[in-house]
Structure 1
Amino acid sequence: MRHFLDAISLRDAGPSQFPRRIERLLWNIGCSFVVNIDGPGDDGGDILARRGDEDWVIQCKWKRRTPVGAEAIDEVALARETYRAHRAIVVTNTQFSLGAKRRADELTRLGPQILFWTGNDLAAAFDKLPDRFGRVELRSYQETALARLESDLESNGRALLVLATGLGKTVVGGEVLNAHLVRHPTDKVLVVAHAKDLVHQLERALWRHLPKQIPTRLLTGENKVDDLSGVTCATVGSALSAIQFGYRPALVMIDEAHHLGAEGQYDELLRILERSRQFGVTATPWRGDAHDITEQLGAPSFQLGIEDGMRKGYLAQVDYKLFVDDIDWDVVKDASTHSYGLADLNSRLFLPQRDEAIREQLAAVWANTSRPRAIVFCRTVEHAERLAELLDHTPLWSGAQAVHAALSKRERQRRLLAFRAGDIPILTAVDILNEGVDIPDVNILCFARVTHSRRIFVQQLGRGLRLSDGKDRVVVLDFVSDLRRIAAALKLKRSLGGKEIEVLETSGRSNIEFSDQRVAALMEEWIKDAASLETAYDEFRLQFPEILEAQE
């Protein structure tokens, strides 16, 4: 029976897909993390992995027929030194030349042994794997969500899941795919995302939900394949191209479904595949335009937001502090007699806060947090780099670095990997961590004068809400530069005060407070309808009551 490590599948995988097969194997044999670093400047390493207390570096050599030569041994030896790995492995779908074996013996006399994995070794390893990679234990709400999604797909052919970041939307989505493939093991399944990085993460996340016999593959601008059996994870453009050439999956999953629009590639894809079952998953169903994604996928089959997730004990509790110390009170006095546009009022009301002030508040929280790990969200790449440099020059955060889209993919991966491993104490970021990134032990978030978007706010807050061993709370420092952010925090505060949902036993409740209580009183009065203001456009005009004398 064909499988993802048999000789024919490995030969057909080609040089771009072959490392993904090895990644899947590494996860299945119990590595705690696996990251692909293949690319220019990789210093001889294609994959980094950790198993137990050991760091591994793997060099992947796909060959059509010929054996691997001695040059691969020198490459992986360099990679072991560069990445300070305990173990170096060269893996191929064929065999190793006599020269490669001799070179490995020479280097072994000088240091640790370099290991060889051949095509025969890979096939034997597959036979020893359990049918499923681990066991997925669903929470009660995930079981309910799964049942409702399956019911809607069966009756309507369409379904939508809305789960806040940290509640496991990909887990539920993966179980929907698995349930379908258990019933229809030969069906083709398509999983679509809007960005290549997310497609890579999706394929990796789905492995633990699928039987080992089900093949998976990537379909992006840089990965072209002929065999689309099993589960294909694709960018929307590449998926649409395959569909236009006759590819017809039985089931379609849209990740980050808030990217659906009334027109464009997503709409065309879903229209052509109207006979296929379709479902979407998202943490943030709101878009920046007026389009309603329920027009394509129907009303949510199941929905659980941040507030309910925290009150039920499925997400970390939040200590949320809004810093508004630098508010311009002259503008406050003037606001009652003027009708300011929101963007104009933001620029007038909030005086620029120094990065040094942000650093001081971070240091205070850091000193009182057990095993602190922090992400600082910034407005621009330039600000993220500047703030990372400032933090790096503070002994407390030596090694601080920025992560953003201007970096190469490999450098972003390297920095994220170092952050996960604890080698980087704190990251500054611009948007790149909004979607698809899972770092559960982050327990400090800082918003450094970011522009508010309801969707981005929920995504970024979600980076700190995942529970992990030893973590049940996250501290949020918000250096406010937008009234909509205050509205979002007030809405969250009011929601968490609700009594209609059962609160499970946790370490306590969330706290949301202002650094200046005068501002708290003012904003509570100003922002009567927090939900409306949170999603308002820059041109929205605020009308303020004349209550300012009480704030003197």
Structure 2
Amino acid sequence: MRLRDYQAKALQGIHDQFEQNDSTLLVLATGLGKTVIVSHLVKDYLDKGRIMMLAHREELIGQAWRTLKRVTGIEPDTEMGDYHANSYGAFRSDIVVGTIQTQNAGRGMGLKRMTKFDPSDFSLLIIDEGHHAAAASYRRVIEYYQRNPKLKVIYLTATPDRADEKALGQFIDSVAYEYDLREGVDDGWLVPITQQSVYVDGLDYSSIRTTAGDLNGKDLARVLEFEEMLHGFCSPTIEIAGDKKTLIFAASCEQASRMTEILNRHKTGSARYVHGGTPKEERRELWPAYTAGEFQYLVNVGITTEGWDEPSVEVVVMARPTKSRSLMAQMLGRGTRALPNLIEDCAGADARKLAIAGSDKSELLVLDFVGNCGRHKLITPPDILGGKYEDDIVDRAKKNAEKDSAQSGIPVDVIEQLELAEKQLAQEKAEAEERDSRQKIKLRAKYSTAKVNPFEMYNIQPWREKGWHKGRQPSEKQVALLERNGIDVNGLSFTHASQLIDRVIRNTKEGKASYKMLKCLQRYGFNPDMEFSKARIVMDALSANSWRPLQPEQKAKVLQEIGA
């Protein structure tokens, strides 16, 4: 299986980190192939010892088992529930997959099932959904296998909650590679996401308690199971989704059952639902029927959030709110994949985007139902696509997207809303500085040590520092590259150095003025936002004038020459 460019970079990043560290983290958005990457990593580690891959759900283990076998050609053993891996003899596999719960289960005499395995046999431990790894059940298992001092541990995650980021930073040695949902969309590997907000009269979350960081399940079910609320979800879904294949996330079995009933009243045989209690035989019949288009709406309760792929999903309906970034990312990820065999042979991001735009699935539409959220800060698509933005930008984008789409009845592009919010806040900041020129307002990221602020020069807001990068300093290579481009590195963090390097590379690719040019243009009173070729004309004029400020007639002539 051929790796995509970012997958190859991720694999190399893991190898590079393992040369110096015993554990590392891979952050990759849902739908971009984390399991494919680690399957290739497994191939590289087979000659060093056995490999163990652990997750917390059966569906994830099934997906991993299939991908590992396809990539490595080896059939893994399974240690999960009634399935027992062979630990001895010629019949044991070099690869074991299983669940954290089974590893912690008893095997008699006060021993855990993990103790049937000898840690010294294993060279690599893979922890899927690694943002859970701070939990005691995970730490117990990981620390057992880390009795082998040669063991390498790779944690996999998509979009963790902020608290998970901080927790991960406590026990991982490094971050091997990060590639988020926004990058996947920008590079044409995932479809664009549009959001349609729908106000539902009487929908009120304000009395719902918070339990374990998310909305209390029983409280939420009580609100969402009212007949009026059910129709408030179903009617807009039917109207807006049209004939598109639709995946609906519900909060309870009762809500899912009732929504399915209402949808089928409007369109006979169009909806089915699935939940944790649905018999496995029924599920095995349901999945291929949905893939084949035998029914339009699949209503589910916590079943399709992980380990389930259906690229033909065109609409995701959030009939259950959440305060969890990781849960929202998982739900969005069910619909962000492009149609099969569409983009793999395309030459570059532009070709992939063009192929997606011309396909039967040109975007993912997310229906978000809005009510009174009270004190709760509910997660919506801008939170997931805006992972690198500061909170104020994301909050502005959320408000804009909700208001604009609800009032117009037209879905809005989430990335465009984030970019608009960034520009709005930058403009508001500039206006505030102009009103009070004596006191320079600092950016939220507290970057103010350089004489010339590169973020202001590029007219961008600093990225939010993720928990695992807090306190991390720029690498020597980053410092060298930034200094070559004339950027003062004093006070820069690793995150902000990475952001500025991305901007330097992006401007070069787009044929825009270099950073040194930007500083010079601004110093001499020119708008720095111009193409490299036009900036070169200005530089030549300044040089010919011995770097003295141009007289009005000279400047007017230059402006005319560059078409400004």
* d(CA) in 2 for partners of 1:485, 1:401: 31
Alignment coverage as a number of residue pairs: 357
CA contact (8 A) 1:404 1:412 kept: no
Distance 1:177 1:287, change over 3 A: farther
In structure 2, relative to structure 1, the CA distance for the partners of 1:328 and 1:432 (3 Å cut) is: closer
Indicate which of 104, 107, 118 corresponds to 1:247.
118
2:99 maps to which residue?
A: 235
Question: Relative to 1, partners in 2 of residues 1:298 and 1:408: Cα closer, same or farther, differing over 3 Å?
Answer: farther
Shift of 1:516: 3.0
Unaligned runs of 5+ in 2: 105-111, 207-213, 343-358, 391-400, 426-443, 445-462, 468-564
Is 2:144 aligned against 1:272?
yes
* Residue 136 (structure 2) aligns with: 263
| Alignment of structure 1 residues 52-91 onto 2, 5 Å | none
Identify the match of residue 473 of structure 1 among 363, 367, 377.
363
What is residue 16 of structure 1 aligned with on the other side? none
Judged with a 3 Å threshold, the aligned counterparts in structure 2 of structure 1 residues 311 and 326 are, in CA distance, closer, same or farther, namely: farther
Which residue is 1:515 aligned to? Answer: 406
Q: Which amino acid aligns with 1:384?
A: A
Pairwise CA distance, 1:188: 1.0
> Is contact 1:218–1:232 with CA below 8 Å preserved after alignment?
yes
Task: Give the C-alpha shift of residue 180 in structure 1.
Answer: 1.9
Contact 2:200 2:232 in 1 (8 A): no
Cα gap change, 1:490/1:169 in structure 2, threshold over 3 Å: closer, same or farther?
A: closer
Show the counterpart of 2:255.
Answer: 383
**Structure 2 residue aligned with 1:119:** none
Letter in 2 for 1:190: M
Query: Which residue number in structure 2 is paired with residue 406 of structure 1?
Result: 277
Instruction: Give the letter for the 1:257 counterpart.
Output: G
CA distance change for structure 1 residues 237 and 363 in 2, over 3 Å: closer, same or farther? closer
- Assess if the C-alpha contact under 8 Å between 1:325 and 1:516 holds in 2: no
1:137-536 to structure 2, matched below 5 A, reads 137-181=2-46, 184=47, 187-210=49-72, 212=73, 214-227=74-87, 228-239=92-103, 241-248=112-119, 249-264=122-137, 266-274=138-146, 275=149, 276-286=151-161, 292-324=167-199, 326=201, 354-367=229-242, 372-395=244-267, 398-468=269-339, 469=342, 470=359, 471-481=361-371, 482=373, 488-491=380-383, 513-516=404-407
Of 443-452 and 483-492, deviating more is: 483-492
Shift of 1:411: 2.3
CA contact (8 A) 1:256 1:281 kept: yes
| Greater share of helix | 2
Mapped partners of 2:118, 2:280: distance in 1: 30
Answer whether contact 2:18 2:24 (CA < 8 A) is retained: yes
Deviates more, 1:403-412 or 1:282-291: 282-291
Matches of 1:290 and 1:159, distance apart in 2:
13
Secondary structure of residue in 1 paired with 2:195:
strand
Partner-residue secondary structure (3-state), 2:330: helix
8 Å Cα contact 2:252-2:301 kept in structure 1: yes
Q: Deviations over 1:33-82 (max 9, x none)?
A: xxxxxxxxxxxxxxxxxxxxxxxxxxxxxxxxxxxxxxxxxxxxxxxxxx
Counting aligned pairs with the same residue, the percent is 26
Report which stretch shifted further, 292-301 or 146-155.
Answer: 292-301
Q: Counterpart of 1:437 in 2: which secondary structure?
A: coil
Unaligned runs of 5+ in 1: 1-135, 332-341, 499-510, 536-552
Distance 1:233 1:491, change over 3 A: closer
Give the TM-score taking structure 2 as reference length.
0.56
Offset of residue 256 of structure 1: 1.1
Contact 1:160 1:279 in 2 (8 A): yes
Alpha-carbon distance change, 493 to 245 in structure 1, aligned in 2, over 3 angstroms: closer
Q: Deviations over 1:438-463 (max 9, x none)?
A: 11110111111433322111110111
SS of aligned partner of 2:136: coil
Shift of 1:286: 2.7
**Retained in 2: the 8 A contact 1:174–1:206?**
yes
CA contact (8 A) 1:400 1:425 kept: yes
The answer to whether the 8 Å contact 2:131/2:164 transfers is: no
RMSD: 3.8
Cα 1:328/1:294, change in 2 over 3 Å: closer
Partner Cα distance (1:343, 1:434) in 2: 17
- How many Å separate the matches in 2 of 1:204 and 1:328? 42
Partners of 2:22 and 2:173 within 8 A in 1 = no
Q: 1:207 to 1:431 in 2, by over 3 A?
A: same
One-letter code of the match for 2:230?
A: D
Residues 323/386 of structure 1: CA separation in 2 closer, same or farther (3 Å cut): same
